[in-house]
């Protein structure tokens, strides 16, 4: 079960990134072209936050079931000397939780704005910050702290 969840969590990150990038692009175009805030823009805003929440739930389950995290907390004095364990135990999880909070706040604020420009601007700012945090927290194959492949297999 753990391996399946880990692969699902790894694959689902691409959906999170895609929806964030699409939302940022729609918001940028909306601001630049003075477009009305359409029903599809609003749905994209909603689904971006929803996908982030699903990814967070998957991540929490993976975190709780992870042998890496179990080792970290059962052998903490030894484990703190390994950057990869600290990355997954603290950095990755805290930054991703922060990113989902930012996506949630941005989505909720954009929904409540009055003008179309304000809605797009709010989406652009909050989702861009979210994307930046996620880019920092993903264990990319080239990361010096902890690296994983772009696509994890069973």
Q: Residue 140's pLDDT is what?
A: 82
Query: For 53-73, what is each residue's pLDDT tens digit?
Result: 999 999 999 999 999 999 999
Tokens of 112: 């409540």
CA end-to-end distance (rounded Å), the chain: 11
By the 8 A CB rule, do 55 and 49 touch? no
Q: Sorting pLDDT into bands at 50, 70 and 90, what band is 153?
A: low
Among 4, 143, 17, residue whose Cα is nearest residue 62: 4
Q: How many residues would you count in the chain? A: 154
Residue 23, SS3 per DSSP: helix
Q: Residue 146's pLDDT is what?
A: 75
The b-or-e profile of 95-120 (16+ CB within 10 A means b, else e) is bbeebbebbbebbeebeeeeebeebb
Alpha helical stretches, state H, the chain: 2-33, 39-65, 67-74, 76-79, 83-86, 92-112, 116-137
pLDDT > 90 fraction of the chain, expressed in percent and rounded: 81
Q: Taking the mean position of all CA atoms in its chain, how far away is CA 100?
A: 6
Helices 2-33 & 116-137 angle (0-180, nearest 10): 140
| Mean pLDDT, rounded, for 3-7 | 92
* Range of lowest pLDDT (27-36, 115-124, 133-142): 133-142
| Mean pLDDT, rounded, for 37-61 | 97
Q: Give this prediction's pTM.
A: 0.89
């Amino acid at each position: 079960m753990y391996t399946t969840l880990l692969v699902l969590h790894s694959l689902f990150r691409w959906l999170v990134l895609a929806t964030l990038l699409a939302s940022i692009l729609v918001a940028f175009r909306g601001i630049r072209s003075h477009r009305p805030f359409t029903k599809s823009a609003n749905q994209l805003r909603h689904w971006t936050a929803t996908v982030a929440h699903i990814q967070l739930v998957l991540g929490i389950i993976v975190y709780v079931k992870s042998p890496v995290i179990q080792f970290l907390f059962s052998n903490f004095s030894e484990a703190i000397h390994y950057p990869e364990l600290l990355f997954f135990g603290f950095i990755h999880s805290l930054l991703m939780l922060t990113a989902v909070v930012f996506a949630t706040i941005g989505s909720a604020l954009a929904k409540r704005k009055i003008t179309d420009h304000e809605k797009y601007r709010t989406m652009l700012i909050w989702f861009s910050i979210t994307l930046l945090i996620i880019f920092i927290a993903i264990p990319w194959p080239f990361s010096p702290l902890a690296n994983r492949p772009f696509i994890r297999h069973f």
